Structure 1
Amino acid sequence: MRFLFVHGGFHAAWCWDKTIAAVSELGHVGIAVDLPGHGALVDQESTLANRRDAILAVLQPGDVLVGHSGGGFDATLAADAAPDLVRHIVYLAAALPREGRTYPEAMAMRDDADPANGFDADVGEMLGYLSFDEDGAMTFADFDGAWKYFYHDCDEQTARWAFDRLGPERFGDTTVTPVSVPRFWEADLPRSFIVCEQDRSMPRWLADTVARRLGVAQLTIDSSHSPFLSRPRELAELLVHATTTEPIGPLVPY
């Protein structure tokens, strides 16, 4: 199998290096893409359309799409554009669009008013580690904050290696443009959701909500938000296993 990895906010294709190596050891192929505004494409404008197109440019028939965090949103857009090319789509602590809603709305809408179960990220404190430039680009400016929210189960050397590579996050049109992915809902693709049990970035209520809307039983890994760095071999094995799973319920677009 070939796995196509889509990174989340602040990160780029480099974050998947260890997981790609582990996938290769298991006899499969892994490839990671830089989304516009990230990695080698840091100077490009970041929009919903050009991020989708960056994935489509390398998507091949039979690929397993893996989206991490905000990359789940982008992977869904690509799957909507070319559902026939996707063998399976895996959401790794990842976001899922809500039909007709913007990205911030999809991330904020809850099934109940009191998400008291599990860990709920302290977004207010996390914002204190970020800096914003005059163009609105957001940067993780503090190593301790990145280590705490992204890499707390990594050793300091690994965490610093990753922190030194983090780039700015530009939301572009995602905050104002409602998203519609009708072909994704209609295709009813094989899909999985992996929850990171020690996640300090994705609230557990949101993980539970995304899994419910995907109609899948959660797969779990005992890691931070970044198992691609802290547990790459375990993650690779779980990704291979994920491709053998099937939904237990329907997709919920809204």
Structure 2
Amino acid sequence: MGNLCSLLTAPPAKKKHTKRLSNAPSLSNLSSRWSRMRSSRKDKLDDAIIKEQALAAAMLFKQHQQNGSLPFDRSSSTRYPNGGSKKNSLPRSSSSRARSLTDPLLQPHQLVNQGIKLDDLETNHFVLVHGGGFGAWCWYKTIALLDEGGFKVAAIDLTGSGVHSFDTNSITSLSQYVKPLTDFLEKLPEGEKVILVGHDFGGPCISYAMELFPLKVSKAVFIAAAMLTSGQSTLDIFSQQAGSNDLMRQAQIFVYAKGNDHPPTAIDIDKSLLRDLLFNQSPSKDVALASVSMRPMPFAPVLEKLSLSDGKYGSVRRFYIETPDDNAIIITLQENMINASPPEKVFRLKGADHSPFFSKPQAMHKLLVEISKIQ
């Protein structure tokens, strides 16, 4: 999703069905630009591909379960509050501590059981919302860690994502895209709350849900995610880094399923650049999983401006987890969003790429548990 900003780019290489944008035109010229494009492919994932995706995710998930403990690399993270008293306000570097080379690797059950009583939490129910092009499959490590610690966890496949059998090119609105999430929240028993976790374009998706169901959301966690203010679209946010990331411009492919007189219907990513853009610190097996599981991201929701109110969206406690080694949503853009709409607390996950559920699963898990404990 971070590759959206290069929508503002110069004429694409001529291809029959899809277009790469390499240099940025103005937004006002987009409609005329679209009209000059050739009609593009109408790719639809058939059932065989969907089943292959589900099987790949299931096999990896089962393998980790059979192995028992998850031998993920441990990393430290820094945490700092956005505001509050001087006593609690720390520079970003002051809360980090050097770790000894002999520091033992903590097992998942040790992480989740340190000073925590699940019955004392406002909620122990996490709902994980993937980013653009991803699916519920990307959370398989996080699901295993949270479940082992006694937490309740659900991962949602948004419309046209993961194993959800819907043509991405037919999605025309954000409400349609997030319907699986809003349906899930609507069916929650009265009085039950969840912690929403959104990655990448999952950020606007959980924001939309927070506005609709503020009483059902205890906390919201944005991980390397677009965190919009009212009246902004995701395109507005990512146009801020237009021209600053050549890798994004090289990787993105715009799909024009409705022909040359219409705007793009979806955004895909060049599979040869997946690792460099999204998984530059992630294990090879997870990159392989992503390469057979990722689907195009619908374009219409990217253009939609959110309407967020202080009384609803603003009443939910927000937290942000930064990913400093992110090549898709660069750290300066993350900082800009945080400064524009400060959350309650910000956490920095050292060594994390755009997909910390792969590159730093235990460290990210530890932060999620810590956030759940904040009174």
**TM-score band (shorter)?**
0.7 to 0.9
Which residue of 312, 316, 319 maps to 1:192? 319
Return the TM-score normalized by structure 2.
Answer: 0.58
After the TM superposition, list the runs of 4 or more consecutive aligned residues in structure 1 that deviate by more than 6 angstroms: none
Is structure 2 residue 172 aligned with structure 1 residue 43? Answer: no
Mapping of residues 172-183 of structure 1, within 5 Å: 172-175=300-303, 177-182=304-309
2:243, 2:329 → 1: CA distance?
A: 6
> Residues 137-177 of structure 1: CA distance to partner in whole angstroms, max 9, x if unpaired?
2211233x1101111112222211212111111212431x3
Which residue of 131, 142, 157 maps to 2:253? 131
Is structure 2 residue 233 aligned with structure 1 residue 102? Answer: yes
Q: Which residue of 2 aligns with 1:154?
A: 282
Seen in structure 2, the aligned counterparts of structure 1 residues 90 and 174 have a Cα distance that, compared at 3 Å, is same
Which residue of 343, 350, 365 maps to 1:215? 343
* Aligned AA (2:180): A
1:165, 1:245 → 2: CA distance?
A: 35
* Aligned AA (2:207): T
> Residues 6-53 of structure 1: CA distance to partner in whole angstroms, max 9, x if unpaired?
111110111011111111122212111111121223425332112333
Confirm or deny: 8 A CA contact 1:23 1:233 kept in the other structure: no
Which residue of 354, 369, 374 maps to 1:225? 354
Return the TM-score normalized by structure 1.
Answer: 0.84
Q: Which residue of 2 aligns with 1:169?
A: 297
Q: Which residue of 2 aligns with 1:5?
A: 128
Mapping of residues 8-19 of structure 1, within 5 Å: 8-19=131-142
Q: Which runs of 5+ in 2 are unaligned?
A: 1-123, 258-263
2:300, 2:175 → 1: CA distance?
A: 10
Confirm or deny: 8 A CA contact 2:214 2:312 kept in the other structure: no
How far did residue 108 of structure 1 move?
Answer: 3.7
Seen in structure 2, the aligned counterparts of structure 1 residues 209 and 243 have a Cα distance that, compared at 3 Å, is farther
Which residue of 203, 206, 227 maps to 2:333? 206
> Residues 167-206 of structure 1: CA distance to partner in whole angstroms, max 9, x if unpaired?
111212431x332121566642122100012111112122
Which residue of 201, 207, 221 maps to 1:90? 221
Look up the SS of the partner of 2:286 in the other structure: helix
Confirm or deny: 8 A CA contact 2:159 2:178 kept in the other structure: no
Which residue of 236, 239, 243 maps to 2:372? 243
* % same residue: 24
Q: Which runs of 5+ in 1 are unaligned?
A: 111-119, 247-254
1:155, 1:168 → 2: CA distance?
A: 22
Which residue of 158, 180, 184 maps to 1:54? 180
The alignment's C-alpha RMSD in Å is 2.3
Confirm or deny: 8 A CA contact 1:23 1:237 kept in the other structure: no
**How many residues are treated as equivalent by the alignment?**
235
Mapping of residues 57-76 of structure 1, within 5 Å: 57-59=183-185, 60=188, 61-76=192-207
1:82, 1:236 → 2: CA distance?
A: 25
> Residues 208-246 of structure 1: CA distance to partner in whole angstroms, max 9, x if unpaired?
122231333320112111111122222111111123447
Seen in structure 2, the aligned counterparts of structure 1 residues 36 and 183 have a Cα distance that, compared at 3 Å, is farther
* Aligned AA (2:358): L
